[in-house]
Structure 1
Amino acid sequence: MKSNYTIIIQWSDEDNCYVVSLPEWGQFCHTHGDTYQEALTNAQEVLDLLIESSLENGEPLPLPNTYSTSRNAA
């Protein structure tokens, strides 16, 4: 499922893996992976499940944070 949600992937020395944050879904919405690609795949799977679950339960989806060039106009 295609979505425009933010996926932040960062290496964690403490966890010795890539940690993924999905900020539009709340501060505690995370996943991880041993490789960058695994972390991205896991993030996409979690996003699909979050979207599917929200739609099945009649809950509104959070608005995606999107990049706008107008924000950076000087």
Structure 2
Amino acid sequence: MEAMERRKTAADRVRVAEGVVEQLREGLAEFGVKLPSLRIDPVSCAGDEPTPLVDLGRCNIGTALRLCEVLAEKESGHDG
């Protein structure tokens, strides 16, 4: 029974991480930012008690600059 509970807890953690990745993807898209490699790090989901990590991935310089612009706009109180 305890092993089943651990598997359920692990699956719940992964589901939460998947939701966070989707929320990030949608939120960034509203500002014209797409991180092509945004995903859950598969290695962090391995084992009996995974601790999923969100991998923001790699992006080109244009995307990084756009992300900087969005952050600067939010910091100054202007919505893009």
Q: Select the structure that is richer in helix.
A: 2
TM-score (normalised: structure 2): 0.34
Structure with larger Rg: 2
Q: Select the structure that is richer in strand.
A: 1
TM-score (normalised: structure 1): 0.36
